[in-house]
Amino acid sequence: MRFLVLTSLASLLTSVLGQSSSVDSYVASESPIAKAGLLANIGPSGAKSSGAKAGVVIASPSTTNPDYLYTWVRDSSLVFKTIIDQYTSGQDTSTRSLIDEFVSAEATLQQVTNPSGSVTTGGLGEPKFNIDETAFTGAWGRPQRDGPALRSTAIINYANWLIANDNSSWVTNNLWPIIKLDLDYVANNWNQSTYDLWEEVDSSSFFTTAVQHRALREGSTLATKIGQTSVVSGYNTQADNLLCFLESYWNPSGAYITANTGGGRSGKDANTVLASIHTFDPAAGCDATTFQPCSDKALSNLKVYVDSFRSIYGVNSDIASNAAVATGRYPEDVYYNGNPWYLATFAVAEQLYDSLIVWNAQGSLTVTSTSLPFFQQFLSSVTAGTYASSTSTFQTLITDIKTFADGFVAMNDKCTPSGGGLSEQYDKNTGSPISAADLTWSYASALTAFAARSGFASPGWGAQGLSVPATCSGSSGPTVAVTFNVQATTVLGENIYITGSVDALENWSPTSALLLSSANYPTWSITVNLPANTVIQYKYIRNNDGSITWESDPNNQITTPASGSFTVNDTWR
């Protein structure tokens, strides 16, 4: 085993800070292992995917503690996005038939009626299925609305390559019907609440919003290419609305991205780093509107996220405050007692490698007041400004940030067993692999981080030059007047607000939540026109001079009538 044992954590600092050659060695040895591990988990012929239909990705062969022998739409799409990127870039041209099997498998799963509904009544939001392509009917956190967006992104990448290689008719006849189902689902449901990618919080999720925005942008472009122009206006309109909503996750006082609008946690979450790398568009540079990896907001967020793990994991003890550490899902995590995840730690490295790709390509980097604390980790004297590649400041920062990025890979190296197998997590004190063995997503995350380290970036998706529209909307059609009354005792200077799962309730945004009237204190009231005949979730918020407290879980939920008015009477939880 090469996993870390807490016998000499001081020596870890030395190895992490001077690890370039060891990381080169790890990348060279782990790359083929990760690729083989990934392929072993794809049916029907993968070595560890017995029982899986053709093109079906198992999350892990683990069947107990935990049972991950299922196929998740999210995981499968991210895995095949990795495979498709390698295929379309010429890195591995042997996987064409496997990609076609994936497309066929996902087309089948789209049509499987499940607890979330049928293909026309919400079933595309179902997160996981049995590996024989039948519905999983047990209790679960559903719906999860990132799956359709990620699946369409993976298949669109394949479609664009086929078009470039004179296969447009095949795209139109075979891929577009699958892609359109997913994009229509995104366009029609993006402003409804969703479980996050960790399947724990039911609200709105930065990761989901970001990948939905990307999917509609590149879906609109593809539709134009193949003459399916009737959908373009609708996709573009909802993409604009998603971009508006995306901005609301930024927490200016904390200088980080709040991962979820609910859940009662700090919001510091790998969700945000994963969103940045999976919506990376090298043509967009360091655009902060779409939270590109090298944007000031994404870099500030990265520092806050990474720092939140420095003091809570034993494996991070005695490591300098500007050196790499192991990271997990979020600092409050209690799953398996809360540990580092391989994919989370690789994601940090990948965001930094993506940033280096852009800075080197444009020949400069810019430090703003927002990103200044991030850059000061490497050069304490740096000030806000733009630094050309010819300057010593640029060279120093680039070199030190590359070392920093390599440190996260080195940390995973230290906690990788001798055979190279990657589980889901490793123990926060000993570094020993735990939870699901051979997690397919872990292998994919290694491959994408290694690719970014080598300078590879997958094709852009249209993020360049986007701007937030002056006005945004999230719903249309008939509405009903809903009066919300909540009993809440407050202190001087404290007010009660409401936000929820639809545009009229500000799409779970704490910064633009609606103020209730205290005219009948301690009853706080507001009347809002909401979409008729719609399931709507909401929560109340206390705001005391900018300090926000969410009502406790679970979300409140109502179904609005088809017409007339409606009154809700609640008590603050």
Residues assigned a catalytic role: 196, 199
d(CA 302, CA 276): 10
Among all chains, which residue has been given the structure tokens 């909802």? 238
Q: Is 162 exposed, middle or buried (0-12, 13-18, 19+ CB in 10 A)?
A: middle
Q: Is 252 exposed, middle or buried (0-12, 13-18, 19+ CB in 10 A)?
A: exposed
Enumerate the H helices of 264-313 as residue ranges.
270-278, 296-307
DSSP-assigned letters across all residues of 439-499:
-HHHHHHHHHHHHHHTT--PPP-S-TT----SS-----S-EEEEEEEEE----TTEEEEEE
**Three-state DSSP class for residue 519:** strand
d(CA 550, CA 537): 14
Q: Would you say 140 is a known binding-site residue?
A: yes
Nearest to 394 by CA among 409, 402, 255, 24: 402
The string over 196-228, giving b where at least 16 C-beta atoms fall within 10 Å of a residue's C-beta and e elsewhere, is bbbebbbbbbbbbbbbbbbbbbbbbbbbeebeb
Identify whether the C-beta of residue 356 lies closer than 8 Å to the C-beta of residue 401: yes
**Three-state DSSP class for residue 209:** helix
Contacts of residue 165, Cβ cutoff 8 Å, sequence gap at least 6:
none
d(CA 146, CA 88): 24
Nearest to 553 by CA among 537, 534, 566, 535: 537
Q: Is 109 exposed, middle or buried (0-12, 13-18, 19+ CB in 10 A)?
A: buried
DSSP-assigned letters across all residues of 409-433:
HHHHHHTS-TT----SEE-TTT--E
Tokens representing residue 473 in the block: 């909307």
> Phi, psi at residue 526, to the nearest 5°?
-160, 145
d(CA 408, CA 499): 37
Q: What pairs with residue 530 in β-bridges? A: 480
The radius of gyration of the chain's CA atoms, rounded to the nearest angstrom, is 23
Q: What pairs with residue 204 in β-bridges? A: none
Numbered residues of the known binding site: 140
Numbered residues of the known binding site for substrate: 140
